[in-house]
Amino acid sequence: MSYRLHLGVFFTGVGPQTIWTDPAFTSHTHIDRFVDTIRTLERGLFDAFFLGEGLRVRENRGRVHELDVAGRPDAITQLAALAAETTHIGLVATQNTTYNFPADLARRLASLDAISGGRAGWNIVTTDNAWTGENFRYGGWLPHERRYERANAFVETAKTLWGGAPVDRHDDLIDVTAGPTVPARPVLFQAGDSAGGRDLAARHADVVFSANTDYDKALAYAADLRERLAAYGRSADSLRILPGAAVVLGDTPADAAEKARYIQREQVTGPRALAFLEQYWGKDLSGYDPEGPLPDIEPAEGELDPSRGTIAIEHRTGKAERIAGWRKLAAERNLSLRDLVIEVTPQHSTFVGTPSQIADEWQRYVENRAVDGFNILPQLLPGTVEDIVDKLVPELQSRGIYRTEYEGTTLREHLDLPA
């Protein structure tokens, strides 16, 4: 049997991956642009459209970060509006379990599922970030090591309410007395890659939005996850794996490579390279030339704060060693400040090539069950989305690994999940 490929688009709405300097870019906040995007995706028979979440505007050294796109809607509100503009595509809201009330969020997700005719998904994320918590009633209440305990308890609460039963639970993680919601069964997505995240996925998730995109990593990850599923009595086929991926299409391999180079240089502009290093130096570096050498001054005392929202907790310490490593790498390879940042910036795995090349590669992934599909992070708006739908989708269809029409109406049906 040839396994089917499933596709989503992850619309982050913040961060450097969206090339706002591109001449074709108009707006990433206007509702009409969201409607255009999701209708194009529905024409391309996509499984799902995802919205990201970030509950504090990113900052750089205490000041709002100016260089990236920013400004996004409440995900559930936006998806409820987009539900009225579409008929099939799944609508996935990223929502965290730390700074939400369980009964309130469960009710809003159930409402989205009901109003869209069974198309809602919830991308479950956690945070311990007290800086983000400064926008909420109980900022910083949850210790880092307990964030997945809270997430599991939160998801259990939501599932109970969706299933038609009340919840009356009072402990140090959950304090709720609430009645059931409208009947609902949103598809549960999970993105965390830590052991706690994988465990939450194995217990509760229908889909994982993983970071393991490279072929060998994807295979190993799939094996690990299927083992964990078995430990919770779930079948290997009860979970879909959709890693994040960027896609750069060209009419020829050289054309695609050139476009990829353009995207990378636009993503790491000189000012962005300086701002990236300022997070680690903790000092104003605006006087340095991005095309010159790394700053020769020493960084500020103290470890990193998470105020950009982009630095994983394991990277918030040990900056002295990190900076020493960068200096060594820049010296060895004679890299400018900006080239060094391009080299060390975490990149989402990118597929670069002609539609036929990428379709061949994805066929290998899906037939060997390294993945069940991809969740695509668009870099050019509307270019990435239009290119994929108009050029890559037909190649996938001709290989028999992608649908030629929607066979069901719910997100659960699109993903071939157990009923």
Bridge partners, residue 10, by sequence = 50
The least distance separating another protein from the CB of residue 284, rounded to whole angstroms, comes to 14
The least distance separating another protein from the CB of residue 278, rounded to whole angstroms, comes to 14
What is the three-class DSSP state of 256? helix
**Residue 194 marked in a binding site:** yes
Of 181 and 190, the one with the shorter C-beta distance to another protein is 181
SS3 of 19-42: CCCCCCCCCCCCHHHHHHHHHHHH
The least distance separating another protein from the CB of residue 115, rounded to whole angstroms, comes to 5
- Alpha-helix residue ranges (DSSP H) falling in 334-382: 337-344, 355-367
Q: Which of 135, 143, 74 is nearest to 104 (CA)?
A: 74
Show Cβ contacts of residue 2 under 8 Å, excluding neighbours closer than 6 positions: 367, 400, 401
Cα-Cα end-to-end distance for the chain: 20
Of 30 and 316, the one with the shorter C-beta distance to another protein is 30
Of 95 and 213, the one with the shorter C-beta distance to another protein is 95
Rounded CA gap, 189 and 293, in Å?
43
The least distance separating another protein from the CB of residue 173, rounded to whole angstroms, comes to 11
Of 14 and 256, the one with the shorter C-beta distance to another protein is 14
Rounded CA gap, 246 and 311, in Å?
20
**Residue 94 marked in a binding site:** yes
Q: Which residues bind another protein (CB under 8 A)?
A: 20-21, 29-31, 35, 54-57, 63-74, 76-78, 80-85, 99-101, 103-104, 107-108, 111-112, 114-115, 134-137, 161, 170, 174-182, 269-272
Sign of CA dihedral 210, 213, 219, 220: negative
The least distance separating another protein from the CB of residue 211, rounded to whole angstroms, comes to 23
**Residue 144 marked in a binding site:** yes
Of 123 and 213, the one with the shorter C-beta distance to another protein is 123
- Known binding residues for FMN: 94, 144, 148, 194
- Binding-site positions: 94, 144, 148, 194
